[in-house]
Amino acid sequence: MTAQTESPQTATAVDRDELAHELEQLSELATLVLSARDALSDDIVSRIAQALSEGITLLDRLTRNEGLMRLLQVLDTPESQHLLHGLSTALAKMSRDISISPPAKGGLAGVVKLAMEPGTQEGLRSLSLLGKYWSDSMRELHRTGGK
Amino acid sequence: MRILVVGGGCGGTILANNLARRLANEIRNRKVRITMLSASDKHMYQPGLLYVAFGQMMPDELYRDQLSLLEPCIEFHVDPVEAFHLDQNKVTTNSGKTHEYDVLVIATGSRIVPEEVPGLVEGSETFYSEAAAVKMFKRLREFEGGKVAIVVGVPHKCPIAPVEVTFSLHDYFKTRGIRDKVHIKYHYPIGRIHTIENVAKWAKPEFDRIGVEYETLFNVREVDVENQVVKSEEGTETEYDLLISIPPHRGMSVIERDKMGDGGWIPTDRYKLTMEGHDNVYVLGDTTNLPVSKTGSAAHFEAEVVAENIASIIKIGTPVRDYDGKVYCFIEAGHDRATYAMFNYENPPDLKAPNKSMHWFKMSYNKMYWTSVRGLL
Amino acid sequence: MSEFKTIDARNTFCPGPLMELITYMKQAQVGDTLELLSTDNGTASDVPEWIDKVGHEMISSEKVGDVWHLKVRKLK
């Protein structure tokens, strides 16, 4: 219970100290604001305003774009993110494999050899399924006009 | 419902974009179509011309492609109207096309007519077009001292411009270190130095302080280019070495040709903003004969009211708002301070002391304008 | 045939009643009469001062309720 034992004079002195400290902080803040004000120029203000203005316009376009909003919703699922990640990894591996393998010689024998690999068969199956579902979506797009 | 907007300036563009946002569903369901006809594929930020005249902005900063400012669902044609057939709800255009409408919005703006004052074209510099503003700046650069006179035609766009150009001239010559060699004299058509009483009360002591002479009740009658003398309707004269003019304005000639309004200004209901005698025709901005300032700001606030009303008529069958005469004007008090005036039919403008923050707000607005015409701010 | 035109400049601050009158005066023909309506008390002295200085004719000036009615004729 220290407060009860403190004399009124001590309390006032503490208040005064606190006030002085707060004033000092305020003055520091004011100096900062004034310094920022002095550092600015018409040109800087114009450029900031332009960036903000274009930013607001961009944000408006993006948020009112229904297609983009639907795309973002789809991308928001872990499944889509995983697939995109997988696609990107596959593309990177593919480009590396192509760069180190000798140029294809051509001819039916090469095609047959490639078609016998399980990976190729899996890939063809994926592509044919992708074609099936994608064509459904394309029919839907032109039926509804994209709504 | 076919909405036809004639004019792609500040008012027309804000209106069309605002409507397109409000009627997005109706447009998608093909119940509403918005078409805009304009004389140009470029949109100019006209207040920037004053900065061009003092070398503070380059002309290319004033323009954007009109199409880039419009909502994609607005059909846009660069094809100015040649004739209005209001009784048949249609217009014919320069290319010979006919556009029928259910609702027409006329926002064709105004044009300068310095040729109405003998000698004004040859004898004075102005900043009401890109070419004129660049020419004025080059002239100011070459000016080494002498008598500068500022004269004001009636009516004119941007009522604050005469005061702004005067403060800017003072600051410009001061920065160049030749202010003591330049005598500036300001002339104004009515009995005080600005039509807004509070602006006049503020600017008068400021003019006294910075050494600008002024003459009121001076309506420019002619310029004697050879002797470098400008004469007033009231019978006075001023000699000059450099004459800066705010030229008189008129509405577009098609309005006068089709006898829709004297001087090219269309008689307009001051609250509903419909053309007198035509409930499906709205008029915006400079084109009206309303006793409000011819400024982008008035056009902006009018456009918001008209857009809201057209949309509500389509949605619930009745307009919902009246225009209250609101105008907001920035006032640049030189090159580093500014203030503003806001007023409407009921409340006169109250002026605050100019400061740097307001100047920066204006600088910012010069860039934010493009967001504003897109119907966002 | 001279015309009569009424200019409604009630409750306006910019460009204001006298500036409106000057605009309409420029569009009018010599001999036309213009009636200016204004709620600004300054108009009652501003308009006659200008009309006198520029050389047109002041026909009448009266206040009806809150509104000044000033009639002028274009002489030149």
Tens-digit pLDDT profile for residues C11-60: 988 899 999 999 999 999 999 999 999 999 899 999 999 999 999 999 99
Q: Do chains C and B touch (3 or more CB pairs under 8 A)?
A: yes
Consecutive H or E run containing B245: strand B242-246
Contact C12 B292 (CB under 8 A): yes
Query: Taking Cα atoms as reference points, which of B308, B321, B284 lies closest to residue B19?
Result: B308
Q: Taking residues A130-143, what's their average pLDDT?
A: 86
Q: Taking residues B308-312, what's their average pLDDT?
A: 98
Number of neighbouring beta carbons within 10 Å of residue B83: 12
Instruction: Compute φ and ψ for A95, nearest 5 degrees.
Output: -65, -35
Among A45, A48, A54, most B C-beta atoms within 10 A, so best to mutate, is: A45
List of chain C residues whose C-beta atoms are within 8 Å of the C-beta of residue B349: 13-14
Lowest mean pLDDT among A61-65, B19-23, B193-197, B324-328: A61-65
Sign of the alpha-carbon torsion through A95, A96, A97, A99? positive
Cα(B351)–Cα(B323) distance, rounded to whole angstroms?
23
Tokens 């204001």 — which residue?
C16
Cα angle B288, B292, B295 (rounded to 5 degrees) comes to: 80
Residue B249 pairs with which residues in a beta bridge? B112
If phi > 0 it is left, if psi is from -120 to 50 it is alpha, else beta; for residue B334 that is left
Per the model's pLDDT, the better-predicted residue between B375 and B220 turns out to be B220
Tens-digit pLDDT profile for residues B205-249: 999 999 999 999 999 999 999 999 999 999 999 999 999 999 999
Chains A, B: CB contacts under 8 A, how many? 38
The model's confidence at residue A10, banded by pLDDT at 50, 70 and 90, is low
Indicate if the pLDDT at residue B35 is higher than 70. Answer: yes
What Cα–Cα distance (Å) separates residue A129 from each residue in A90, A119, B104?
18, 15, 53
B65 inside 8 A of chain A by CB: no
Indicate if the pLDDT at residue B10 is higher than 60. Answer: yes
Cα(B310)–Cα(B349) distance, rounded to whole angstroms?
30
What ipTM was reported for this prediction?
Answer: 0.93
Indicate if the pLDDT at residue B121 is higher than 60. Answer: yes
Distance between terminal CA atoms of chain B? 27
Indicate if the pLDDT at residue B175 is higher than 50. Answer: yes
For chain B, give the percent of residues with pLDDT over 90.
97
Contact B356 A37 (CB under 8 A): yes
Instruction: Compute φ and ψ for B215, nearest 5 degrees.
Output: -130, 125
Per the model's pLDDT, the better-predicted residue between A1 and C68 turns out to be C68
Tens-digit pLDDT profile for residues A34-82: 888 888 888 899 999 999 999 999 999 898 888 888 888 989 999 999 9
If phi > 0 it is left, if psi is from -120 to 50 it is alpha, else beta; for residue B32 that is beta
CB-based burial of residue C8 (10 Å sphere; 0-12 exposed, 13-18 middle, 19+ buried)?
Answer: middle
Number of neighbouring beta carbons within 10 Å of residue B165: 25
List of chain B residues whose C-beta atoms are within 8 Å of the C-beta of residue A45: 360, 363-364
C29 inside 8 A of chain B by CB: no
Lowest mean pLDDT among A11-15, B25-29, B331-335, C45-49: A11-15
| The token pair that represents A61 in the structure block | 């376009």
By three-state DSSP, how is residue B87 classified?
helix
Query: Taking Cα atoms as reference points, which of B136, B206, B142 lies closest to residue B176?
Result: B142
Cα(B112)–Cα(B114) distance, rounded to whole angstroms?
6
Contact B217 C49 (CB under 8 A): yes
Q: Taking residues B105-114, what's their average pLDDT?
A: 97
pLDDT given at position A6: 57
C36 inside 8 A of chain B by CB: no
The model's confidence at residue A2, banded by pLDDT at 50, 70 and 90, is very low
Partners of chain B (3+ Cβ pairs below 8 A): A, C
Q: Is the peptide bond before B348 cis (omega within 30 degrees of 0)?
A: no
Q: Do chains A and C touch (3 or more CB pairs under 8 A)?
A: no
Among B233, B246, B351, most C C-beta atoms within 10 A, so best to mutate, is: B233
Cα(A51)–Cα(A57) distance, rounded to whole angstroms?
10
Sign of the alpha-carbon torsion through B74, B79, B83, B85? negative
Candidates A42, A53, A147; nearest CB to B370: A53
Chains B, C: CB contacts under 8 A, how many? 77
B368 inside 8 A of chain A by CB: yes
Indicate if the pLDDT at residue A1 is higher than 50. Answer: no
Q: Taking residues B310-314, what's their average pLDDT?
A: 98
Among B71, B371, B376, most A C-beta atoms within 10 A, so best to mutate, is: B371
Give the distance, in angstroms, between the CA of residue B285 and the centroid of all CA atoms in the same chain: 8
Among B28, B332, B363, B365, most A C-beta atoms within 10 A, so best to mutate, is: B363
C48 inside 8 A of chain B by CB: no
A46 inside 8 A of chain B by CB: yes
List C4, C5, C7, C14, catalytic entry: C14
List of chain C residues whose C-beta atoms are within 8 Å of the C-beta of residue B249: none
Cα(B168)–Cα(B174) distance, rounded to whole angstroms?
10
Is C14 an active-site residue?
yes
C6 inside 8 A of chain B by CB: no
| A 79-138 near B (Cβ less than 8 A) | none
Indicate if the pLDDT at residue B300 is higher than 70. Answer: yes
By three-state DSSP, how is residue B251 classified?
strand
Q: Do chains B and A touch (3 or more CB pairs under 8 A)?
A: yes
Cα(B285)–Cα(B301) distance, rounded to whole angstroms?
9
Contact C23 B154 (CB under 8 A): yes
Indicate if the pLDDT at residue A144 is higher than 80. Answer: no
A56 inside 8 A of chain B by CB: yes
**B278-283 and B103-106 strand pairing:** parallel
From the CA of C34, how many Å to the nearest CA of chain B? 14
Per the model's pLDDT, the better-predicted residue between A99 and B74 turns out to be B74
From the CA of C42, how many Å to the nearest CA of chain B? 10
List of chain B residues whose C-beta atoms are within 8 Å of the C-beta of residue A46: 363-364, 366-367
User: Residue B373's closest chain A neighbor by CA?
Assistant: A57
Candidates C14, C18, C27; nearest CB to B327: C14
Residue B186 pairs with which residues in a beta bridge? B150, B214
pLDDT given at position A105: 82
| B 10-29 near A (Cβ less than 8 A) | 28
Indicate if the pLDDT at residue B147 is higher than 80. Answer: yes
Contact A53 B371 (CB under 8 A): yes
Number of neighbouring beta carbons within 10 Å of residue B42: 14
